[in-house]
């Protein structure tokens, strides 16, 4: 009788090491700022100030998976925010009309870029550089170099509001039980998912991670979940933008890992010629990746305008760099074909923690850009060197 041998394989440190880097950078700033970065109010700001970067990073990952980037996302954020502002302030129209119009502008921008990239074979770098320049110029033209605002409270809720809370007295303040309940549900879902994955792999005699590595991963993930949700519970509860982020993370995580469309994106990034030979319409994949990027850029533009309470000509300036850096820091391969939604989100928060920590330490934005550039260069260098070692 044939017996099945238990196969084990070590976890990819590049895939999960980013969580340790996230914790390590946070602890570094915890020491240098004497705990200022860990107070509930700052954690709340960290989530809300980086919501639009996370949204952009999710879309940018799909571009990076194809081996390309989108330089125009910051300008699309500015254009869509300005369109929403003009409709509400100048034309006194309903916020939902403004939101729909902003989404439509983002999708049209994506259709424009996708057509040139997919069907005219213009390099994505050139096309998105053009959309970046045109979008920024269009923003200044629409706003006439002025700020449109203030917006209504109902619109501002999208970027600055909070979900309903149920608070109880806790120590010298209050604790939101809704945030704690969400943390419990997230913890249960994470544990059940890991157990199910482990049992499925054992059932079909696939290689599994050693139990101690799975346990260590769970401890780290649960620590991050409970730390952030407890801090939010001690402040104002769950930001509405966190709900938007969660929906997008789950949706795109499912698309990239469980659907044919997601597998086609990875195949395109891995080897376009092989993807074509296997019957994948790579032009169609390219097209929808950039349409999707325009759509998510418009969501980020709506959130940013709501967070600021106004539309400004400088909105979204440099966001494309943060989104691109988030993907590479989160483990996406420079050549395409490798990366994950979770990695991009973690990369976005690493960038956010760097910005937040350096701001608390009094560093100017110029110095912050130097540090972020160094971190990005290190991430890409490690990726390239690891590829060479495998060869």
Looking at residue 382, its pLDDT comes to: 74
* Residue at 389 is within a domain: no
Tens-digit pLDDT profile for residues 51-100: 999 999 999 999 999 989 999 999 999 999 999 999 999 998 999 999 99
Residues 202 and 253 grouped into a single domain: no
* Residue at 292 is within a domain: yes
Residues 222 and 358 grouped into a single domain: no
Residues 104 and 18 grouped into a single domain: no
Given 198, 218, 238, the domain boundary residue is 238
Tally the domains of the chain: 2
* Residue at 278 is within a domain: yes
Residues 203 and 104 grouped into a single domain: no
HSE-up of residue 67 (Cα within 13 Å, Cβ side): 13
Average pLDDT over residues 322-334: 86
Q: Return the closest-CA partner of residue 311 out of 56, 50, 88.
A: 88
Cβ contact 147:310 at 8 Å: yes
* Residue at 83 is within a domain: yes
Residues 228 and 138 grouped into a single domain: no
Give strand pairing partners of 162: 239
* 220: pLDDT strictly greater than 70: yes
Looking at residue 9, its pLDDT comes to: 62
* Residue at 364 is within a domain: yes
Tens-digit pLDDT profile for residues 176-199: 999 999 999 999 999 999 899 888
* Residue at 390 is within a domain: no
Residues 18 and 141 grouped into a single domain: no
* Residue at 387 is within a domain: no
CATH code for position 252: 1.10.3470
* 251: pLDDT strictly greater than 80: yes
Find the domain containing 68 and state its range. Answer: 33-151+239-382
Residues 112 and 11 grouped into a single domain: no
pTM for the full predicted model: 0.91
Looking at residue 205, its pLDDT comes to: 82
Residues 362 and 217 grouped into a single domain: no
Q: Return the closest-CA partner of residue 139 out of 299, 305, 321, 303.
A: 305
* Residue at 296 is within a domain: yes
Looking at residue 367, its pLDDT comes to: 86
Tens-digit pLDDT profile for residues 27-39: 999 999 999 999 9
Looking at residue 1, its pLDDT comes to: 41
Given 238, 263, 297, the domain boundary residue is 238
Residues 127 and 179 grouped into a single domain: no
Give the pLDDT band (50/70/90) at residue 108.
very high
Mean pLDDT taken over the chain: 89
Given 238, 256, 284, the domain boundary residue is 238
Q: Return the closest-CA partner of residue 323 out of 41, 57, 132, 17.
A: 57
Tens-digit pLDDT profile for residues 130-179: 999 999 999 999 999 899 989 999 999 999 999 999 999 888 888 999 99
Residues 229 and 324 grouped into a single domain: no
Place of tokens 């424009």: 112
Q: Which of 114-128, 176-190, 197-211, 348-362 is the least confident region?
A: 197-211
């Amino acid at each position: 009788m044939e017996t099945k041998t238990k196969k084990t394989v070590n976890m990819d440190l590049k895939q999960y090491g980013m969580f340790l880097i996230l914790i390590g950078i946070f602890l570094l700033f915890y020491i240098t700022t004497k705990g200022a970065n860990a107070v509930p109010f700052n954690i709340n700001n960290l989530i809300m100030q980086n919501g639009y970067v996370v949204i952009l990073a999710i879309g940018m990952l799909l571009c990076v998976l194809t081996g390309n980037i989108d330089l125009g996302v910051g300008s699309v954020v500015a254009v869509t925010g300005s369109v929403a502002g003009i409709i509400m302030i100048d034309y006194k129209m309903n916020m939902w009309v403004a939101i729909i119009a902003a989404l439509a502008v983002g999708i049209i921008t994506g259709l424009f870029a996708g057509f040139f990239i997919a069907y005219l074979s213009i390099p994505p770098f050139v096309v998105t550089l053009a959309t970046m320049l045109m979008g920024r110029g269009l923003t200044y033209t629409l706003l006439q170099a002025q700020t449109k605002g203030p917006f209504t409270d109902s619109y501002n809720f999208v970027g600055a509001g909070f979900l309903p809370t149920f608070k109880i007295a806790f120590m010298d303040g209050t604790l939101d039980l809704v945030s704690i309940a969400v943390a419990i549900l997230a913890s249960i879902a994470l544990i059940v998912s890991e157990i199910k994955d482990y049992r499925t792999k054992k059932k079909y005699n696939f290689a599994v991670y050693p139990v101690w590595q799975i346990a260590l991963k769970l401890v780290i993930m649960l620590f991050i979940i409970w730390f952030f949700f407890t801090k939010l519970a001690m402040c104002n509860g769950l930001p509405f933008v966190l709900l938007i982020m969660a929906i997008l993370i789950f949706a795109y995580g499912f698309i990239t890992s469980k659907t044919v469309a997601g597998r086609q994106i990875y195949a395109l990034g891995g080897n376009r010629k092989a993807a074509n030979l296997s019957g994948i319409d790579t032009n169609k994949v390219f097209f929808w990746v950039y349409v999707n990027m325009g759509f998510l850029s418009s969501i980020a533009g709506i959130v940013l305008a709501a967070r600021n309470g106004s539309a400004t000509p400088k909105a979204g300036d440099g966001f494309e760099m943060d989104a691109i850096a988030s993907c590479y820091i989160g483990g996406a391969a420079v050549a395409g074909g490798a990366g994950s939604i979770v990695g991009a989100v973690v990369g976005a928060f690493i960038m956010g923690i760097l910005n937040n920590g350096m701001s608390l330490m009094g560093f100017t934005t110029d110095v912050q850009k130097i540090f972020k550039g160094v971190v990005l260069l290190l991430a890409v260098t490690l990726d390239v060197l690891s590829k060479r070692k495998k060869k």
